[in-house]
Amino acid sequence: MTQPASPENAGVVRIATFRARPGQMDGLVEAARGNARDALAADGCRSAEVCISDQEPDTLLVVSRWASPAALRAFLDWHESQAHGAVSPYAAEPPHAVHYRVVAQNRR
């Protein structure tokens, strides 16, 4: 069932895209898993997933869902330098991150 997101339940989705250095995907996945665990432990994080694609084997996504932009910002202010340090040995380039405002939700 699709429902418009109200101010009380609206959130933000962050999608960070990483490209692995040749032969470094396993290390990138492990570093991203650690970062996702840290995110999930933060106030306001609803979920954090690490995703890979068979069609783009050097690409990894970290998708996190947050209760509010403020909750995401607070986490990033605390964690961003640590997160980049953890993944940089395995990443071919800095990640590209986009934040999306939730405007409708589908729930079971």
Q: Express each pLDDT in 46-103 by its tens digit.
A: 999 999 999 999 999 999 999 999 999 999 998 877 766 788 899 999 999 999 999 8
pTM for this entry: 0.85
**Domains plus CATH for the chain?**
11-102 (3.30.70.100)
Q: Express each pLDDT in 6-28 by its tens digit.
A: 444 569 999 999 999 999 999 99
Q: Judge whether residue 5 has pLDDT over 50.
A: no
What is residue 44's three-state secondary structure? coil
Quote the CA–CA distance of 95 and 97 in Å, as a whole number.
6
Quote the CA–CA distance of 66 and 56 in Å, as a whole number.
26
